[in-house]
Structure 1
Amino acid sequence: MIRLTGAVLRVGLTGGIGSGKSSVASRLVQRGAVLIDSDRLAREVVAPGTDGLAEIVAAFSDRVLDADGALDRAALGALVFDDEAARRQLEAITHPRVRARAAELAAGAAPDAIVVNDVPLLVEVGLAPTYHLVVVVQTEVATRLERLTRSRGMSRAEAERRIAAQADDERRRAAADVVLTNDAELADLHGSVDALWHDRLVPYEVNLRQRRAVRPARVALAEADPTWPQQYARLAARIRHAVTPADLRLDHIGSTAVPGLAAKDVIDIQLGVPSLADADGPLAERLADAGFPRLPGEWWDSPRPAGSGRWEKRLHGSADPARPVNLHIRETGSPGWRYALMMRDHLRADPDQRAAYLVFKRELAAAAPDVATYTTAKDPWFDEEHHRAEEWAARTGWRP
């Protein structure tokens, strides 16, 4: 896998065949993006004279060459389209070369570039965690079929077969940070792309390069969002990729991890490390490169039980202006690490206390809308709730 490195913002762009992904790519280039087209690279790495073409011929024979010695893509496609083993063999030859070339091009971009990787099979081959942001272009299947038969001259059967061979819309949405719907006029699509560029991509790039995290200044409770766990899963996959080869535990914590609970629209994530010293070295830089810069200063847990002393941690945020994150790095097994998991699971298990906490949060948000006051004012409630949570943990045999 290619690791996110440096301050260059890398955006993965994908969508099903006939969705209009190329139109989005072209518009992003007009706005100033550096485009890396995986389809073009796929042709480049198997051009005549390359070791990629030589390996394909060794695997599939010279039946896949045309009269001029170039790759006959139609002949190769006929061999692998309905043969999963053959397709996997082909992917093992071409995909690493395409990724390596894409990484080389991204490394050569200007430090303030926004690099867009147009990758048709981004979801299918599991590349989503390697990008700072994934954009999916989504179009109704009927519209895609009409485009493929009209613009590309495919028969309806061939168009249906091509669409069925790719990931479906649900799977793409699960991987998407942004979904651009392309069922209306081209001007509408351009408007959506322009808004994405100005409102999210440009400020994201600046934040990433300057190692600056998004920090909401005011408390605004959002109604429970059923997609919060899915959003956490995307963020966790990105973090896990950034810290590889370390095998560190990640957990979704805080109010957005409790189903049905209104919360600030900030995803809280806990990353367990063997020692906080591990959080102060290369790990911090890897997280910043992946879009999770360290917050300045010295941090310790709040809320925490009264009299428990200072629970140290390291705190990172998100450079993405549309997705605030609190990334709490705590020593695995420490009191703060255990407390975060226990309080989450206690509130998940006790609907009455969950309801009481929600009432308290709403009252507090109305009375103390700034984040610092809101956070400190929650301490007394957590002091009292901590005792109930410990009793629940002992009664149920809970373990982190």
Structure 2
Amino acid sequence: MVSAADIVRHYPDDPDGIEWVAPQPPRPITVTAHDPAWAAAYAGLAARVRRALGDGVLALDHVGSTSVPGLDAKPIIDLDLTVADSTDEPAYRAALEAEGFTLSLRERAWHEHRVFAHAEPRAHLHVWSPDCPEVVRHRLFRDWLREHREDRAAYAAAKHAAVDRLTAAGGGSGMDYNALKAPVVHDILDRVFRAHGLL
């Protein structure tokens, strides 16, 4: 059972906590208008994950900004996959890689998070164990943004401002991008948590 305290806890990015398995080549960070085709791209990717793992898929969700109609986003599909044990890579890694998902990184200290990258359509498949608070946060944030136009607009503005700052500075990493938009994300999440009685 996930506790409210775990759900509302903000975890800062920790570059030292990332174990790169297959680093992705650096690309400029871009934010584009929402593309309705992202929903179909997710459906196709999800079908391949389910084909690879069958009953090993305990939960699978389209999360992140591409899952929110009307929200500007990086054109990368985010999927949250829950398996019985994310540390048991032999139970799922080979099957996912046979479907074109490549293990990119491990974050052992952050819920034993794993990320698989997919090239086309570009996607990040996030692998978690059951009762992970981050999965709950992702769903709450997605569902809130789907229903609240003003927060969608504020989040989109924060994304574009972050890209503008990185461009002016000559570039930056995904963590740099996340840090620049974090204040707005935390502000929205605080409203989400309060609305759900978690704070």
- Tell me, yes or no, whether TM beats 0.5: yes
TM-score when scaled to structure 2?
Answer: 0.78
Offset of 1:323 from its aligned partner? 1.8
| Cα shift at 1:228 | 0.6
1:226-241 matches, within 5 Å, as 226-241=36-51
Q: Deviations over 1:205-252 (max 9, x none)?
A: xxxxxx967555211111110111111000100111011242421100
2:199 pairs with 1:391? no
Match of 1:358 among 156, 165, 175: 156
Matching residue's letter, 2:179: T
Give the partner amino acid of 2:107. W
Aligned letter for 1:317? A
Q: Does structure 1 conserve the Cα–Cα contact (< 8 Å) formed by 2:41 and 2:121? A: no
Cα distance in 2 for partners of 1:245, 1:384 equals 37
How far apart are 1:368 and its partner, in Å?
1.7
8 Å Cα contact 2:154/2:184 also seen in 1: no
Alignment-derived partner of residue 113 in structure 2: 313
Which residue is equivalent to 1:368?
Answer: 166
Structure 1 residue corresponding to 2:184, chosen from 381, 384, 391: 381
Matches of 2:27 and 2:130 in 1, distance apart? Answer: 30
Is contact 1:346-1:392 (8 Å) kept?
A: no
1: CA distance, partners of 2:177 / 2:129: 26
Q: 1: distance between equivalents of 2:28 and 2:107?
A: 20
TM normalised by structure 1 equals 0.40
Residue 56 of structure 1: aligned partner: none
- For 1:290 and 1:355, how far apart are their aligned partners in 2? 36
- Given that 2:155 and 2:185 are in contact with CA atoms closer than 8 Å, whether structure 1 keeps it comes out as no
Mark the CA change 1:272 to 1:284 in structure 2 (over 3 Å): closer, same or farther. Answer: same
Unmatched segments (≥5 aa) in structure 2: 1-20
Asked if 2 retains the 8 angstrom alpha-carbon contact of 1:253 and 1:269, the reply is yes
Task: Kindly indicate whether residue 107 of structure 2 is the aligned counterpart of residue 299 of structure 1.
Answer: yes
Q: Distance in 1 between matches of 2:125 and 2:179?
A: 19
Instruction: Sort the Cα spacing of 1:343 and 1:259 in 2 relative to 1 into closer, same or farther, 3 A.
Output: same
The secondary structure found in structure 2 opposite 1:281 is helix
* Shift in Å, 1:353: 0.7
Q: Distance in 1 between matches of 2:131 and 2:50?
A: 19
Larger RCO (CA under 8 A, 6+ residues apart): 2
2:60 and 2:81 in contact (8 A); partners too:
yes
Aligned runs of 1:111-190 on 2, under 5 Å?
none
Runs of 4+ in 1 over 3 A off after TM superposition: 211-216, 309-312
Residue number in structure 2 paired with 1:283:
92
Whole-angstrom distance in 1 between the partners of 2:111 and 2:141:
16
Q: Which has the larger radius of gyration?
A: 1
Query: Is 1:254 aligned to 2:57, yes or no?
Result: no
Inter-CA distance 216–241: structure 2 relative to 1 (3 Å threshold) = farther
Match of 1:331 in 2: 129
Q: Structure 1's 353 and 339: CA in aligned 2 closer, same or farther, altered over 3 A?
A: same
What percent of counterpart residues are identical?
29
2: CA distance between counterparts of 1:325 and 1:340?
16
Q: How does 1:4-19 map to 2 (within 5 A)?
A: none
Match of 2:10 in 1: none
Distance 1:271 1:350 in 2: 26
Q: CA 1:248/1:310 → structure 2, altered by over 3 Å: closer, same or farther? A: closer
Q: Deviations over 1:151-186 (max 9, x none)?
A: xxxxxxxxxxxxxxxxxxxxxxxxxxxxxxxxxxxx
Change (3 A) 1:216 1:242: farther
Q: CA deviation at 1:281?
A: 1.7
The Cα of 1:393 is off from its aligned counterpart by: 2.7
Q: What secondary structure, in the 3-state scheme, does the structure 2 residue paired with 1:251 have? A: strand
- Root-mean-square deviation over aligned CA pairs: 2.2
